[in-house]
Each structure stands twice: as structure tokens, then as C-alpha cells.
Amino acid sequence: MASGLGFQQALFFKESASFNSAEDLSSGTVLVLPVRVNVGFGREVERITTEHIRGSASVQAEEDQLGIINAPGSFECVIPTSGAFSYIEKHLLGKVTTSGPAGTTYTHTNTWNDKLFAGLSFAVNKTGKSYYYHGNQIASCKMTATVGGPVVATVNTIGSAAPTPIALVTPPSLSLLAATPYWLFKHATFKLDTVTEVITAFDIDFANELMEGADMAYALGSDTRTNLAKMGHSVSGTIRRRHDLDGTSSVQSKFYEKFVSGATAALQITLTHPTDADYTKVINLGHVKFTTGDPKASDRGHIVEEIPFTAFNLDNAASSIVTTDEAATPATATGAYDGTGA
């Protein structure tokens, strides 16, 4: 008897040939990602009821009908220094250009694109079966780090219907670097307008505005999504640090001065590997505006600045996520999927 206790394998996934294509995750280029235990893929059904005047508590079972089906998903992971997370970034932003090798190093430059790729099929193994979830697009990814910890990603997806579980599939083996397999905040640097600053935490929300509503993503004759395109993207976040009188007047914070003036700032977060120079990740946000700036004195210790920001002009070359590693993929590709023809 199969155990009913939890998951038997990390999350594995495959790029879709077309939207909602039923990919076979037992062959081809299948990617595996180590995730935390709060994986949440499933289906939601909007039931149609007659709602007779006698009251909904008395509606007969025969009087409810299957309405549209939604398939949301979520997972959380400590971002690995090598491996499959590059594909999550590719589908999050919409375009990647791979160059190299320079020696043993490849460079993957992810930039924003108005269109997406066709999507992803995810799978998890649990209770003796493989559960496949097709037709997924990345709705959002929040990257978070605090002093002393790793860089964590929380990813939300929107998909089509979840199929019936199938016979257990063995995914590929997970391969990570033997030393420092995950990005750690202690090996990070932060720059404001090219000047290095000491910060204590950051969170960045990358979002795709997906056209998920019934009138945008469903079609007559189907209770599942027939397309799932995007109509925009956004980035926002928060930088935290101990308050410093480092503005041009030396009486206030340079972050606060930026906020008051309304001037545009450039933010850069660089993650490096402590022993292998082939592995780096650089988040560039070339045009951000701070949305507030007052330091909060909440106790008798250091005054902590929490500096929320919103990024603009993401389609500019000044904004990107650039990863270097020793893998030739993902190769040069630009998303072309816009939901038409479905």
C-alpha cells in the first residue's frame, strides 16, 4: 500500500510545446527543483446551482452542475546556485539570451517581454502516484533575503485543469553544486546608483498580469482555460537597512532624499558564490522610485529604514536578471505566446 505521508520527490517540470499541452514528464528535457513542503497545486471548481426560492440548504445534489475550473499553484524554494530555477526566471520575464562559453561559463540574460512562452507542466509524486498539472504560467515570484539566511523564492502559478493521477513517474536526479548549493545573503552586495550600500534585508515582487478571467481565458464548450496570456508586468519591493545619515547634506538618508526629490534610482543586487567564480546572479532594476522614506524609531535600538519601491521602464536594457553558470541552457529564446488562436 502506498504511504499517505507527504511527497516522495521534489517538484519536476517541463516546458510546454503549446498552451495546455499534456506533456510527458517521463522523457525529454525534464527539470527538477528542490522545494519546501508547502507545495500547493490543485483545482478549484465554480459550481453552478439553481438556488431555488426554498433556500440553498435544500438544493438537491442533482441541481448543481460543473462550472469553470481553475488550477492555481504555488511553491517555495531556496534558490539554487545551479539548475532549473533559470527556467522559472525565463518564464517569469519572457525573454532570455544565452551567450558563451567564456572558458567554462555561460551567461543567461533575462529581460522583460510583452509576450510569454507557451507555459509549463508541473508534477509532484505523492502517495504512489504522479500528479500532473498542465497549462501553467508564472503569475508571480517573490524573492526574499535577510541577514544570515538564504535567498528564498515564493512562486505562484495559474493553470488549466489538473488531470487524474497517473502511474508513478521517476523524475531525473537532482543535481546541485557540492559546495554552497544555494544563494546565501552573506555573499550578496547591494548598490544604489552604482554605490555599494549596507542593507539588512530585501524583498522583490515580480508579477505577470495574466488574463485569467472567464471572459479572457475560457471559451464556449470548455470548462477549462483555452488560453492564458498576459497584459502587463510589474516589479515592486522593499529594502531594509539601519538608518544612516549618508545623504548629500549629511543630515538625512540618501534613500529619503531620493524619495523626497522623486528622482529615479538604480538598484542592483549581486549574488556571488564564495568559491566558484563561474556562478553569479545579478538583479538589475535600472529605474525605480521610492514610495515612502520616513525611518521608523520603534524602540531604543537602531532606527530601521524600510524603503518600499516600484520599478518602471522594465523593457529597458537597464533592467534584467543575469545569471552565470556552467550550463548552456536555457538558450536564446523570446516568448511569442499571446493567447491568440485558442
**Rounded distance between C-alpha atoms, residue 239 and residue 255, angstroms:** 10
pLDDT in tens, 208-234: 999 999 889 989 888 889 999 999 999
Task: Tell me what pLDDT residue 298 has.
Answer: 60
Buried b (16+ CB within 10 A) or exposed e, 163-176: eeeeeebebeeeee
**Rounded distance between C-alpha atoms, residue 253 and residue 247, angstroms:** 5
Task: Tell me what pLDDT residue 1 has.
Answer: 42
pLDDT in tens, 276-307: 999 999 999 999 999 876 666 666 667 778 89
Task: Tell me what pLDDT residue 65 has.
Answer: 74
Task: Tell me what pLDDT residue 52 has.
Answer: 64
Q: Strands 152-159 and 129-146, how do they pair?
A: antiparallel
Summarize the confidence of residues 310-315 as an average pLDDT: 95
**Contact (CB, 8 A) for 326 and 82:** yes
**Contact (CB, 8 A) for 292 and 314:** no
Task: Tell me what pLDDT residue 195 has.
Answer: 95
**Rounded distance between C-alpha atoms, residue 308 and residue 201, angstroms:** 12
Q: What angle do CA 259, 292, 147 make, to 5 degrees?
A: 100
Give the number of other Cβ atoms within 10 Å of residue 271's Cβ.
21
Closest CA to 232 of 70, 51, 90, 93: 93
| Residue 34, burial from CB neighbour count under 10 angstroms (0-12, 13-18, 19+) | middle
Task: Tell me what pLDDT residue 252 has.
Answer: 77
Task: Tell me what pLDDT residue 293 has.
Answer: 66
Bridge partner residues of 284 (DSSP):
268, 320
Supply the pTM of this predicted model.
0.92
pLDDT at 6 over 80: no
Task: Tell me what pLDDT residue 305 has.
Answer: 86
Summarize the confidence of residues 112-134 as an average pLDDT: 93
Q: Strands 44-45 and 69-78, how do they pair?
A: antiparallel
pLDDT in tens, 17-75: 999 999 999 999 999 999 998 899 988 888 877 666 555 566 566 666 778 889 999 99
